[in-house]
Amino acid sequence: MTNNSPIGIFDSGLGGLTVVRAIREALPREAVIYLGDTARVPYGNKSPALVLEYAQQITDFLLSSGAKMIVVACNTASALALEALRKTVEVPVIGVIEPGVETALKATLNHHIGVIGTIATVSSGSYETLLRKRNKTVKVISRPCPLFVPLVEEGWLEGDVTTAVIKHYLQPLNQAGVDTLILGCTHYPLLKPALQEQVNPGTVLVDSAEAVAAETARVLDKNGLRSDRSEKGTFNCFVTDLPARFETVAGRFLGTGLAGIETVHLP
Amino acid sequence: MTNNSPIGIFDSGLGGLTVVRAIREALPREAVIYLGDTARVPYGNKSPALVLEYAQQITDFLLSSGAKMIVVACNTASALALEALRKTVEVPVIGVIEPGVETALKATLNHHIGVIGTIATVSSGSYETLLRKRNKTVKVISRPCPLFVPLVEEGWLEGDVTTAVIKHYLQPLNQAGVDTLILGCTHYPLLKPALQEQVNPGTVLVDSAEAVAAETARVLDKNGLRSDRSEKGTFNCFVTDLPARFETVAGRFLGTGLAGIETVHLP
């Protein structure tokens, strides 16, 4: 492992490519290796023990590919596996929850923060726990939105159905008067325009991808791990299954085409 | 293996419990062993090769538990793995597609049949191929409905959102004038009342669970495999992961509570 080794990033599926995109924009000289666990997606309805087992297998794969740092670009895995990974892994490990929490605490004026995510992420209470740890006076209301991921994967980013689903899920958050809403799932940024229309006016939507990119830069600097190459870093993308419509969905998250995907088989 | 060995039934998740329910009602003296692959659900967005690999692992597990017959109670696995399983397994293997096709062909008057299912099931063309093989004059229109499974798992079996989603997916089928609609996914029977409201008047909805139970009885008789026990057969339920809300969702499919679930770890 050297300074020019890649940053290892993973997600349960392809949503983490929104994080890849933000990191490659902020840190263009860093090489990136990404694994999307498409064979076992979604993690949001799995048990904590199983999500931890999967996260450990993927981290082993990224480390064996030379990763100098691990970015858990999956809210469910960040909520359920981050602490355990940090105990067993020698390179720096960051998740998406802490950067999202920091950004939300800077944005809120009325100290009412909303969190939306998968059933597993919301049930874990990870966002609430960390928000309250950093600021004892903050009020937090969380809500699982299990239909948002299939809506995004179906490509229904707007329209009557999407609006009706969003209204249903956001109603209690709007009623509680949150002024900041954490999008606690890497799929949700694609719904940002539709979400912005349904939240109370002036509500800030926190998309953690950019916050994660900033945290990645900070951690690389702190550990003296910044790449010293002068050209653009490479990007290698691995998946555990290559299903139908893969490239359409991947392109939607990454904002550009994908070439040279490799399929790997995890235990 | 004896006549009193269990019937082995599997599905990617819990939807196959609708088939378990129909088989236990029709054949109360048969023992049943069920495996729901909850760790790897859903199959509908996975590649054909991966679905086949999973189906083989599960069939091995059911056979090693003494199953005298295998019922693939999953449309995606029936579409992608049935033929391969029949080549390698010595006990009878049935799926959900053939019984659904036979029932639909008996029901249709205008020979326009609609099929709805997951992306993988519809892409496989299995229903269309078999319908046309059995009746060359039948017209078939198929449509993937990827939001139906998450709607059912969320428990939204009726209401504005569900109605809007159903209208969207069924519109081309209604326009084509189908008089028979095959519910090509074990989750869909739970949407039957909401679907019945949105199809053209008089359209028959084919829920294959009952057809599968009848086919199971026929195959047992044909192979001399009927149980000769006088009491009610046992039911053993295995899952590959035990997620949150498991019992609520399982109860919804089975129509009764579940006791003594065991978790197994497949390779």
Domain shared by B146 and B172, yes or no = yes
Are residues A208 and A230 in contact, defined by beta-carbon separation less than 8 angstroms? Answer: no
Asked if residue A193 and residue A143 are part of one domain, the reply reads yes
Pick from A119, A115, A111: nearest CA to A96: A115
| pLDDT value at residue A244 | 66
Domain containing A203 equals 97-208
Q: How far apart, in whole angstroms, are the C-alpha atoms of residue A151 and residue A130?
A: 29
Same domain flag for B111 and B137: yes
Annotate B219-242 with DSSP letters as a single string. HHHHTT-----SSPPPEEEEES--
Instruction: Give the nearest chain B residue to A54 (CA atoms).
Output: B39
Q: Report yes or no: B6 and B70 within 8 Å, Cβ to Cβ.
A: no
B244 with A146: Cβ contact below 8 A: no
Active-site pick, A33, A51, A74, A85: A74
Question: Chain A residue with minimal CA distance to B164?
Answer: A161
Residues A104, A202 within the same domain: yes
- Flag whether residue A120 sits within 8 Å of chain B, measured between CB atoms: yes
Question: What pLDDT was estimated at residue B225?
Answer: 97
Which among B39, B45, B47 has CB closest to A46?
B39
Q: Are residues B259 and B162 in the same domain?
A: no
Catalytic residue among B74, B96, B131, B194: B74
Q: Is A145 in the active site?
A: no
Going from the C-alpha of A70 to that of each of A9, A29, A88, B179, the distances in angstroms are: 6, 17, 12, 55
The total domain count for chain B is: 2
The residue whose two tokens read 């958050």 is A173
Task: Mark whether B116 and B197 lie in a shared domain.
Answer: yes
Q: Chunk chain B into consecutive blocks of 10 residues (it has 267) and report each block's average pLDDT, rounded to whole numbers.
A: 95 92 96 95 88 97 97 95 96 97 97 94 94 97 94 92 95 98 93 97 93 96 96 94 77 78 88
8 Å CB contact of B164 and A168: no
- Please give the interface size between A and B, counted as residue pairs whose CB atoms are below 8 Å apart: 71
Picking from B168, B191, B208, the residue at the C-terminal end of a domain is B208
**Last residue of a domain, which of A208, A223, A251?**
A208
Q: Say whether both A52 and A141 belong to one domain.
A: no
Please report which helix (H) or strand (E) contains residue B112, including its range.
strand B112-117
Q: Assess A247–B contact: CB distance below 8 Å, yes or no.
A: no
Residues 6+ apart with CB under 8 A from B29: B227, B229, B230, B231, B232, B233
Selected for mutation to probe chain A from B45, B145, B147, B154 (highest A CB count within 10 Å) is B45
A136 class by beta-carbon count within 10 Å (0-12 exposed, 13-18 middle, 19+ buried): exposed
Residues A45 and A146 in one domain: no
Among the three residues B208, B229, B246, which one is the final residue of a domain in this structure?
Answer: B208
Structural domain includes residue A127: yes
Residue B131 sits at the chain A interface (C-beta within 8 Å):
no
Residue A68 lies in a domain: yes
Q: Do B226 and B258 reside in the same domain of the chain?
A: yes
Burial label, B66 (beta-carbon count in 10 A; 0-12, 13-18, 19+):
middle
B74 is a catalytic site residue: yes
Note whether residue B187 is domain-resident.
yes
Residue B162 placed within a domain = yes
Low-confidence ranges of chain A (pLDDT < 70): 243-244
Res A249: pLDDT: 79
Q: Which 35-64 residues of chain B touch chain A by CB within 8 A?
A: 38-41, 45-47, 50
Same domain, A214 and A229: yes
Q: B105-109 — which CB contacts under 8 Å span 24+ positions? A: B105/B131, B105/B134, B105/B135, B105/B138, B107/B179, B107/B180, B107/B204, B107/B206, B108/B138, B108/B179, B108/B180, B108/B204, B109/B179
- Whole-angstrom distance, CA of residue B59 vs CA of residue A220: 48
d(C-alpha B110, C-alpha B128), whole Å: 16
Q: Is A66's Cβ below 8 Å from some Cβ in B? A: no
Identity of the residue in B41, B46, B164 whose CB atom sits nearest the CB atom of A161 = B164
Residue A103 domain-assigned (yes or no): yes
Judged by CB atoms closer than 8 Å, whether chains meet at B119 and A165 is answered as: no
Residue B2 in any domain: the answer is: no
Residue A2 maps to a domain: no
Nearest to A47 among B47, B161, B243 (CB): B243
Mutate which: B12, B37, B38, B50, vs A, most A CBs within 10 A: B50
Decide if B160 and A164 are in contact by the 8 Å CB cutoff.
yes
CATH no. for residue B128? 3.40.50.1860
**Are residues B257 and B228 both part of a single domain?**
yes
Shortest Cα–Cα distance, B3 to chain A (Å): 36
Residues in chain A within 8 Å Cβ distance of B153: 45, 146
Asked if A168's CB is within 8 angstroms of B243's CB, the reply is: no
Q: Measure in Å the smallest separation between the Cα of A212 and chain B Cα atoms.
A: 28
Beta-carbon separation of A150 and B150 below 8 A: yes
